[in-house]
Amino acid sequence: MTFRFRLTLVYARIVTLSLLLLALGLYGALRWYLYDEMNQTLRKGLESVQHHAECSAVYSASGWNGVVQLDDAAISPDLYVQWIDVTNGTRVQSANVKTTLLPYSIRSLNQEKEGYFHLDTVDGTSFYIYSKPLWRSGSLVAVLQIARDAELISGLLTITRRVLFALITIITALAFCACWMASGEALKPLRELISAMRTARRNGKANIALRYNGPRDEIRTLYELTAGLMDRLEGAAGKLARASSGQKRLIADASHELRTPLTSIRGNSELLRKMWTSLSGQPERPLEAETWTLSLEALDDITEQTGKMSALVSDMLSLARADADTGAQENRQVIPLKPIVDRVDMQFQYGCSQVEWRTFGLDTLESVYVLGHSDDLQQLLTILVKNGFQFTAEGWVQLSAERTEDEIVISVQDTGIGMDAEQQAQLFEPFYRADASRGITAGSGLGLALAKRIAEAHQGELYCSSFPGAGSVFTFRMPICVTTRKKRGRQECASPISNYKEL
In tens, the pLDDT along 369-395 reads: 998 888 889 989 998 998 888 888 888
Cβ atoms of 71 and 52 within 8 Å: the answer is yes
Per-residue confidence (pLDDT) for residue 469, from 0 to 100: 84
Rounded Cα gap, residues 417 and 437, in angstroms: 9
Band the pLDDT of 60: cuts 50, 70, 90: low
Query: Residue 484 above 80 pLDDT?
Result: no
185 or 54, higher pLDDT: 185
Please provide residue 57's backbone torsions phi and psi, each rounded to the nearest 5 degrees.
Answer: -125, 125
Domain boundaries, the chain: 3-172, 201-324, 329-493
Q: What is the mean pLDDT of residues 229-240?
A: 77
The pLDDT confidence band at residue 34, using thresholds 50, 70 and 90, is: very high
Each residue's pLDDT tens digit, 388-426: 888 888 889 999 999 988 889 999 999 888 888 888 777
Lowest mean pLDDT across 341-355, 358-372, 478-492: 478-492
Question: Of 196-205, 209-218, 362-371, 494-503, where does the model show the most confidence?
Answer: 362-371
pLDDT category at 485 given cuts 50, 70, 90 is very low
- Is the pLDDT at 63 greater than 70? The verdict is no
Place 99 in a pLDDT band, splitting at 50, 70 and 90. low
Average pLDDT over residues 250-259: 67
pLDDT at 284: 57
> Could you tell me which CATH class the domain 329-493 is placed in?
alpha beta
**Cβ(272)–Cβ(252) under 8 Å?**
no
pLDDT at 185 exceeding the cut of 50: yes
CA R_g for the chain = 54
Does an H or E element contain 244, and which?
A: helix 218-280
For the chain, give the mean pLDDT. Answer: 78
Given pLDDT bands bounded at 50, 70 and 90, which one contains residue 430?
A: confident
Mean pLDDT throughout 419-438? Answer: 70
What mean pLDDT is predicted for residues 136-152? 85
The predicted structure's pLDDT at residue 500: 34
Q: Is the dihedral of CA 358, 363, 365, 366 positive or negative?
A: positive
* Strand residues in 415-451 grouped as ranges (E): none
Rounded Cα gap, residues 36 and 279, in angstroms: 137
Q: Please, which residues bridge with residue 461 across strands? A: 477
Query: In the predicted model, is pLDDT for residue 165 greater than 60?
Result: yes
Q: Given this model, what pLDDT does residue 400 score?
A: 93
Distance, CA of 106 to CA of 135 (rounded, Å): 12
Whether the Cβ atoms of residue 458 and residue 381 lie closer than 8 Å to each other? no
Contact 183, 4 (CB under 8 A): yes
Say which residue, 41 or 49, is predicted with more confidence. 41
Give residue 166's pLDDT: 93
Which amino acid type is present at position 122?
Answer: V
pLDDT the model gives residue 278: 66
pLDDT at 164: 92
| pLDDT value at 83 more than 70 | yes
pLDDT at 435 over 60: no
CA angle 430, 445, 468 (to 5 degrees): 105
Q: Which helix (H) or strand (E) holds 316?
A: helix 289-324
* pLDDT of 494: 47
Measured in whole angstroms, the distance separating CA 434 from the mean position of its chain's CA atoms is: 46
What's the pLDDT score for residue 247? 67
Q: Pick the more confident residue, 468 or 290.
A: 468
Query: Residue 44: is its pLDDT beyond 60?
Result: yes
The stretch 148-153 carries a mean pLDDT of: 89
**Secondary structure (3-state) at 63:** strand
**Per-range mean pLDDT, top range of 181-195, 270-284, 305-319, 455-469:** 455-469
Stretch among 226-235, 302-311, 353-362, 494-503 having the lowest mean pLDDT: 494-503
pLDDT of 409: 92
Phi and psi dihedrals of 143, rounded to 5? Answer: -130, 125
Q: What percent of the chain has pLDDT over 90?
A: 14
Q: Looking at residue 324, what is its pLDDT?
A: 60
Of 59 and 466, more confident? 466
3-state DSSP assignment of residue 131: strand
Q: Which residues of 426-456 are buried (b: 16+ CB within 10 A; e: fewer)?
A: ebbbbbbbbeebeeeeebbbbbbbbbbbbbe
Confidence of residue 167 (pLDDT cuts 50, 70, 90): very high
Kind of pairing between the strands at 355-360 and 395-403: parallel
Residue 494: DSSP 8-state? S
pLDDT at 360 over 50: yes
Q: Is the pTM of this model over 0.85?
A: no
C-alpha distances (whole Å) from 266 to each of 269, 273, 302, 314 are 5, 10, 9, 21
Instruction: Quote the DSSP letter at residue 351.
Output: S
| pLDDT beyond 50 at 501 | no
